[in-house]
Amino acid sequence: MRSSMRSSLLRPFVLTAAFASGACSAEAPITPASDSGFTDSALTDTGAADAGATDAPPIVTDNGPRPDSGTPPVGAPTAVTTFQFDRARTGANRAETRLTVAAVQAGFARVDAFAPALDGEVYAQPLYLPNLMVGGARHDVLFVATQANSMYALDASTGAELWRSSLGASVRSSMQQCGNISTIGVVSTGVIDPATNTLYAVAFTNDGGLQFKLNALDVTTGQQRAGYPANISPPMVGGSSFDPRATGQRGALQLSEGRVFVPFGGLYGDCGIYHGWVVGIDAANPAQQVAFATPGRGSGIWAVGGSAMDETGRLFVATGNSTPLGGHTPGSFGERVIRLGGGASGPTSSTDDASFFEASDARMLDLQDLDIGSVSPLVLPPIAGASRLLWQGGKAGVSYLIDRENLGGTGSQVFQQRYFSGGNFGAAAAWSNGTDTFVFAPGRGTRAGCSGSGGVMALRVTGAGLTTAWCSATVSNPSPPAVSSNGNDNGILWVAGTSPASLRAIDISNGMEIFAGAPPSVRQWTPVVVADGRVYVTGSRTVSLFTTR
């Protein structure tokens, strides 16, 4: 993962006539001129060596994957308990009844009075629970973590602090071997277990030594559950040992069958000896830890979404480059999508071809630091006439469709096409309206078949692969997109950008932009959160709220 963006290593693109000059419209969709994608000539191998609220109304929670396109109960409040709304990482809230296309067009704006005072930078996606009993009163609650190792429970309407919990002393970047975050605390997105009203989050601490700790907080009080916080100290795996000085924990947590899954990768700069790890921690007895680790040096699991989980409980992760660059070998597990067994005994792994995917040009990708693992895997809803599919992107800007029942080993993708010259980062989203299924891929640089630079491409999934439906207006460093809809109706895509800071809403049915606003700042790679008529955007030491007027 040597750097967060290494697109300068790509060879120049020869743009075709499909790339018209001129600025993108702020409202109209950008219609693709073709679906041919970029040529692969720019990716030729150079030949280089290789508890609470029990009486509350029903709440739509989303602990499991969302492969279906069913309609949730109308008007039920919605919880956001994990990264990108579900374990499949689709980013789709299909229970949003207030934010219709018409309502957003009629009047939507930032709530200036919502300005919580936070003690540090916010990297983790906020989580949300409606109608929660806190301090003797019911609140819709937004949970926000900071790099100062604080977890805040905020009133989701006003931003007022309901409680704050300190998770330990944070770490200065100088205490690690490299990195680009000056103060390191809670970097990853946690996960909430609604059955026990427990929020799990990992904090990097300096309480007598560098240590990653899993915290388990009562969402009603902020108090630690018995046995927590727990040190994350996985056993050695195949000769790979865990070194916090060279390890980063950016990927979101997963929760399944009483086990918390925590991914790890390296740091900006690829220093020290690190590996890609997934540590499975027994929530009832956190000292019991099982781990998977990549055997080769490097090959970190560093994308913000961590793992994606399918309806059977299997985990899918994507790895970055081996170290040093160009050290890729089949045994290093770099530049791969890997399927792991989850559940109460996971993670478990297999070395057969059905359990991993590797691009045919993985050696070149590794040499040029074009990590497949710059973006998290995405488990797609069922597609008529197609196998059970997984989407994967990467720094090279190539979208892959992979059969998740048989990942197939090297060069075994169902489909691949290059759509962005500057790569994919963070996480994508997926949504189905009952007829069509879309992948919303965020990316940087020139878009194949569309004018403009950066933003989101709406890719329609078919039995044969992907076709371009529309492109958003230009968005700088787009966040992982989010989708809101009421079942199959009123689908809206939400995406934030960093420079200038922006929030955009797009009618999925036609690609028309229906809102553009300016939050004070935007944190790259942190998804927009949409729930119960509200949209939250994280920025520098802040969270902004947008809603209808």
Residues 158-175 have pLDDT tens digits of 999 999 999 999 999 899
Calculate the alpha carbon distances from 211 to 184, 202, 225, 247, 284 in Å. Answer: 12, 10, 19, 10, 21
Question: 175: exposed, middle or buried (C-beta count within 10 Å: 0-12, 13-18, 19+)?
Answer: middle
pLDDT confidence band for 76 (50 / 70 / 90): confident
Number of domains the chain contains: 1
Confirm whether 130 is domain-assigned.
Answer: yes
Confirm whether 67 is domain-assigned.
Answer: yes
Instruction: Tell me the mean pLDDT in the region 459-469.
Output: 93
Neighbours of 293 (CB within 10 A): 26
Predicted pLDDT of residue 37: 66
In this structure, the chain runs to a length of 549
Confirm whether 11 is domain-assigned.
Answer: no
Question: 273: exposed, middle or buried (C-beta count within 10 Å: 0-12, 13-18, 19+)?
Answer: middle
Confirm whether 12 is domain-assigned.
Answer: no
| Pairing of β 542-548 and β 534-539 | antiparallel
Calculate the alpha carbon distances from 62 to 71, 194, 350, 524 in Å. Answer: 13, 9, 29, 24
Question: Where is average pLDDT lowest: 329-338, 353-362, 396-405?
Answer: 329-338
Phi then psi for 58, rounded to 5 degrees? -55, 145
Predicted pLDDT of residue 6: 35
Confirm whether 5 is domain-assigned.
Answer: no
Confirm whether 227 is domain-assigned.
Answer: yes
pLDDT confidence band for 12 (50 / 70 / 90): very low
Tell me the residue range of the domain where 297 lies. Answer: 26-548
Residues 346-385 have pLDDT tens digits of 999 988 899 999 998 988 998 898 999 999 999 999 887 7
Positions of E strands within 69-207: 92-93, 108-110, 127-134, 137-145, 150-155, 161-166, 171-172, 183-184, 191-193, 198-206
Predicted pLDDT of residue 384: 76
Residues 378/308, Cβ–Cβ less than 8 Å: yes
pTM: 0.89
Query: What CATH number has the domain bearing residue 190?
Result: 2.140.10.10
Predicted pLDDT of residue 345: 86
- More confident: 50 or 240: 240
Predicted pLDDT of residue 327: 65
If you average pLDDT over each of 25-34, 379-388, 461-470, which comes out highest? 461-470
Instruction: Tell me the mean pLDDT in the region 78-86.
Output: 98
- More confident: 492 or 381: 492
Predicted pLDDT of residue 225: 99
Residues 113-161 have pLDDT tens digits of 999 999 999 999 999 999 999 999 999 999 999 999 999 999 999 999 9
Confirm whether 7 is domain-assigned.
Answer: no
Predicted pLDDT of residue 270: 86
Confirm whether 232 is domain-assigned.
Answer: yes
